[in-house]
Structure 1
Amino acid sequence: FRRQPQAFESLQAEFARYVEGGPEASGFVSEDGIHETTLDGRQAFEVLTQTDPELIAAEDRPDTTLYIIAVYADNGVTYYVTATAPTEDWEEMWPIFQVMIASFEVLE
């Protein structure tokens, strides 16, 4: 998979606007919302929640949930797009996540 930078950036901005002003939401948790890792998804989740200060804070808040919303590989490196959001807002967030996931194209 390879991300489409322009589409991704506009969706990231949309997500950032959504969570802006919400103390329980930290939005994307790293530069461009991208974490790079060679671990599988479960290991990556555990490592990210133990090493990223914002994710650690999110994990300590029962009203906030961490989502790995997209995964793709490029030249043997796996990228995880992560976000934290208020747990109660999941139904409202899902359409944005669906569009964001759809912005990743499969390469032959």
Structure 2
Amino acid sequence: MADRLAALAAPLAMFYIGMMIMGLQRGHIRQTVPHMWVPIGVKLILLPMATIFMIHFFTIDTVLIQAVLIQSMMPTITLASILFAKYSADEQMGALTTVFSTILGLITIPFMVYVMSLFIN
């Protein structure tokens, strides 16, 4: 029973993000977008680069290294908006960050995989 409820968390979070995005006004989006580049840049570029750097200190199987690196390249979690709402933060910025990081992930993930292939043999 608990596994079924846990499986509902991500789809419900996506519905919640969709409802929040529909209610956003263009003015709020224009105000929020400049502030999103820091969390998106950290999540999609800085953390994978730090992971690539740190992985050199360990002797781990290549498949495990690749799995860890690709996991570190994934966009912001969909539950971020729920967490923002729960802790009285800007939940609309959380939803926009999730959407924009997913879209930008389509570009950054292949780029970071290429960078990873340069450093990992």
Tell me whether the two structures share a fold, i.e. TM-score over 0.5. Answer: no
Bigger relative contact order, structure 1 or 2 (CA pairs below 8 A, ≥6 apart) = 1
The TM-score normalised by the length of structure 2 is 0.27
Whichever structure has more helix as a proportion of its residues is 2
Whichever structure has more strand as a proportion of its residues is 1
Larger gyration radius, structure 1 or structure 2: 2
